[in-house]
Amino acid sequence: MIEASLDKVFITTLSLFLFGTFAAAVSQKPRTANLIAHTASFLGGMTGAITALGVLLGQQTIFLSAWYIIADISLSFRIDALSAFFLLIICMLAVAVSIYSIGYVTEYYHKKNIGLLGGGLNLFLLSMVLVVTVDNGFAFLIAWELMSLVSFFLVMYEHERPGVRRAGYVYVVMTHIGTVFITLSFLALFLFTGSFSFTDFQAMSAQFPNWLKNLIFIMALIGFGTKAGIVPLHVWLPRAHPAAPSHISALMSAVMIKTAAYGLLRVSFDFLGGGPVWWGAIVLAAGALSAFIGILFGLAENDIKRFLAYSSAENMGIIFMGIGACLVFNASQQSLLAALALTAALYHILNHAMFKGTLFMGAGAVLFATHTRNINELGGLIKRMPYTAVLFLIGGLALSALPPFNGFISEWATFQSLLHLSFDIPNPWWKISGGLAAAALGITGAFAAGGIIKHFGTAFLAMPRSEHARGASEVPASMRAGMAILALFSLVLGVWPGFVLAITKNINEKMFHTHLSGDAIWYVPFAGQKTETLFPGIVLLTLLGILMLGALLLRFWAGKGKVHIDETWNCGTSLESSMQYTGTAYSHPVLRIMQRLTGTHKKVKVYQQYAYYPRKIGYHLYNDHSIEDAAYKPVVAFTVKVSQVIRMIQNGNLQSYLAYMVITLIMALLWIRQV
């Protein structure tokens, strides 16, 4: 009975998103469009979350069949535990972002068409829900393409700015390269099973020859890796995310790139049943590279949203490291450890959605209030926007993997999985690789924390550096509420990991026939596979208790302190905002150390004819991203060259066009000629 009603709840979700799309797109007044679109997406998100929780906690599968797209290919939905987990993330973000957007889109009133933006948001959510719930390869590809195109149009929302158009172009090219590979891998599955249905894929792929499995996996990895922004396929991420409106970038970064993880898990575990060890090694290496390079480039950025976008590449790298470790454990028959690694990856997927959603919305709030994303023009926002500052800081602490926030737990679980690679796999190469991967994750965390300090410190602390920052004021309540919801989840998931263990239990049961007990996430590799119990909620309470007690004791011992408020001593001159440490300066030392990778170089210019009495000295710092250039320039040059050669067939000569036609005709006739 519950199952039947869950079906209906899920149908309601789809209908609400669909209603929101069309109702918003046709409404003329911006206020009406805003209200309709975001109410629909809010309710859709709520009902979707209920469906997902019902499936995850109720240990059941929803199956729905809508209609036949063409003969034998039906649009059907199957929500198993894995689908439901991603559905839950999408819907949680949908709820928070809808509330946030009510305030955020007022920015565009009477400048842009709100109906299209709100309708696009609903369609985008709908397409993502479809991607994770459809039960058919063909429908999956359609949903995937829909998701890519809708997000492309949303990125291009402010298309009158040339930078946005360029970003959209890079995005649409990269995403289609990815789609080509995904399509190829699904077509390979189709060719050898004769069906597009996921159940047939699962049933028949066990008999596939090994080369075919490898081929399907590699193509899926490239395709989904492009969407996930894995280095070196990440180039669209730092361009598209800043160009999109902030609530859209929050959704893209928090949810859309996660659908790639869904696709990879679906193909590699569900269809192909895990693979040889080298699959895991590739995924792990790609993840480690992505995590390290992503955050290193992010550190160089002074644009908040670009930093967050690079950090998304980093976090997808961490997730891929978890998935890679899981593949390795699965290949070496360590099912409990595989479950641990998968839990770490899934946990980080959920966590990253929460804190990156908060951070992108926080960046959007800063943009809303100051109209600039460059932190070197900001400063002192904590006094003008206290709520935003606190919420941004919570997101930032979670991103830097600091307790008691959620990023800590999942990164710790990933660490443990990586260390288990060293300790529990007998091969000596893994002893080295596991340690190296853990070290990469460690330096990644350090850089992430550095990036957050840079961005929070420069944008929110000290004195305003420009009129933009001076005139800022706190954002509307709905925007703060949207951020607060996700920030609250960051805290809750950080102190209550049992909830995530409960909802990922079914996924692990299905894949590895084992599951983690409530405290298994606290395994420490050095202690073997014995249980070490620790409940972070209690630790937090204890720490808080000690702090309170300490404060009380101090007060009791020292009595009431004297507060003396005065100006900062500045050698007699008045304080200027230009005296402050800039964001560029903060990250400079790291970039100098890593200049081989980042291509950092400086240029000093003296603005005066007498070099010894300069009036002004200009100091310019450039980051060339040399490895991006090294990877992409030859490919682009080659493509252009090949295109020019191919273009020769289109020479404008009537006779040659006719010749192509007649040659084709003769070939076709020769081909059909029966011998």
Partner 1 sequence: MALLIGLGLLISTIMLFQIRKISDSCGILAMQAVLLSLTACVMWFKTGISHLLVAAIFTLLVKAILIPAILYYTIWKIDIKREVERFTTHYISLLIALVLAAAGYYIASNLNLPSAKFGETYLPVSVIMIFLGTFIMIDHKKAIMQGVGLITIENGIFLVAEAIAYGMPLVVEFGIFFDVLVSVIVIGILLFRIHSTFDSLNTEKMQNLKG
| Footprint on residues 50-89 left by partner 1 (CB under 8 A) | none
Residue with tokens 């040059």: 637
- Supply the minimum distance, in Å, between the C-beta of residue 673 and partner 1: 5
Residue placing its CB nearer to partner 1 in the complex, 538 or 661: 661
Distance CA 172, CA 438 (A): 34
When asked if residue 666 is in the footprint of partner 1 (CB under 8 A), the reply is yes
Q: Which of 543, 554, 637, 659 binds partner 1 (CB under 8 A)?
A: 659
| Angle of CA points 571, 576, 580, to nearest 5° | 95
When asked if residue 643 is in the footprint of partner 1 (CB under 8 A), the reply is no
Collapsed DSSP state (helix, strand, coil) of residue 301 = coil
Residue placing its CB nearer to partner 1 in the complex, 551 or 659: 659
Residue placing its CB nearer to partner 1 in the complex, 71 or 662: 662
- Supply the minimum distance, in Å, between the C-beta of residue 670 and partner 1: 6
When asked if residue 658 is in the footprint of partner 1 (CB under 8 A), the reply is yes
- Helix axis angle for 386-399 and 477-495, nearest 10°, is 30
Distance CA 296, CA 313 (A): 11
When asked if residue 674 is in the footprint of partner 1 (CB under 8 A), the reply is yes
- Supply the minimum distance, in Å, between the C-beta of residue 509 and partner 1: 60
Distance CA 603, CA 592 (A): 14
Task: Provide DSSP, 335-351.
Answer: HHHHHHHHHHHHHHHHH
Distance CA 90, CA 127 (A): 11
The answer to whether residues 216 and 272 touch, using CB atoms and an 8 Å cutoff, is yes
- Residue ranges of alpha helices (H) inside 111-158 are 114-133, 137-155
Residue placing its CB nearer to partner 1 in the complex, 644 or 674: 674
When asked if residue 662 is in the footprint of partner 1 (CB under 8 A), the reply is yes
Burial of 620 (C-beta count, 10 Å sphere; 0-12/13-18/19+): exposed
Residue placing its CB nearer to partner 1 in the complex, 1 or 669: 669
Residue placing its CB nearer to partner 1 in the complex, 544 or 663: 663
Distance CA 31, CA 337 (A): 52
- Supply the minimum distance, in Å, between the C-beta of residue 674 and partner 1: 5
- Supply the minimum distance, in Å, between the C-beta of residue 162 and partner 1: 23
Residue placing its CB nearer to partner 1 in the complex, 66 or 659: 659
Residue placing its CB nearer to partner 1 in the complex, 575 or 658: 658
- Supply the minimum distance, in Å, between the C-beta of residue 168 and partner 1: 25
Distance CA 223, CA 215 (A): 12
- Supply the minimum distance, in Å, between the C-beta of residue 645 and partner 1: 18
| Residue count, binding to partner 1 (CB under 8 A) | 18
Residue placing its CB nearer to partner 1 in the complex, 110 or 673: 673
Distance CA 114, CA 91 (A): 22
Residue with tokens 């669209």: 236
When asked if residue 646 is in the footprint of partner 1 (CB under 8 A), the reply is no
When asked if residue 651 is in the footprint of partner 1 (CB under 8 A), the reply is yes
When asked if residue 655 is in the footprint of partner 1 (CB under 8 A), the reply is yes
Distance CA 336, CA 342 (A): 10
The torsion of the CA quartet 5, 8, 12, 13, rounded to 10 degrees, works out to 80
Residue placing its CB nearer to partner 1 in the complex, 5 or 664: 664
For residue 374, give the DSSP letter. B
When asked if residue 672 is in the footprint of partner 1 (CB under 8 A), the reply is yes
CA distances for 108 relative to 36, 38, 105, 137, angstroms: 16, 15, 5, 38
When asked if residue 533 is in the footprint of partner 1 (CB under 8 A), the reply is no
Residue placing its CB nearer to partner 1 in the complex, 477 or 665: 665
Residue span binding partner 1 (CB under 8 A) among the ranges 55-63, 218-226, 558-566, 653-661: 653-661
Token code pair at residue 125: 């959510």
- Supply the minimum distance, in Å, between the C-beta of residue 671 and partner 1: 10
Residue with tokens 């890679």: 324
Q: Which of 527, 571, 648, 670 binds partner 1 (CB under 8 A)?
A: 670
Token code pair at residue 396: 């930032």
The answer to whether residues 288 and 440 touch, using CB atoms and an 8 Å cutoff, is yes
Residue span binding partner 1 (CB under 8 A) among the ranges 311-319, 371-379, 619-627, 661-669: 661-669
Summarize as ranges the residues that interact with partner 1 (CB under 8 A). Answer: 651-656, 658-659, 661-662, 665-666, 669-670, 672-675
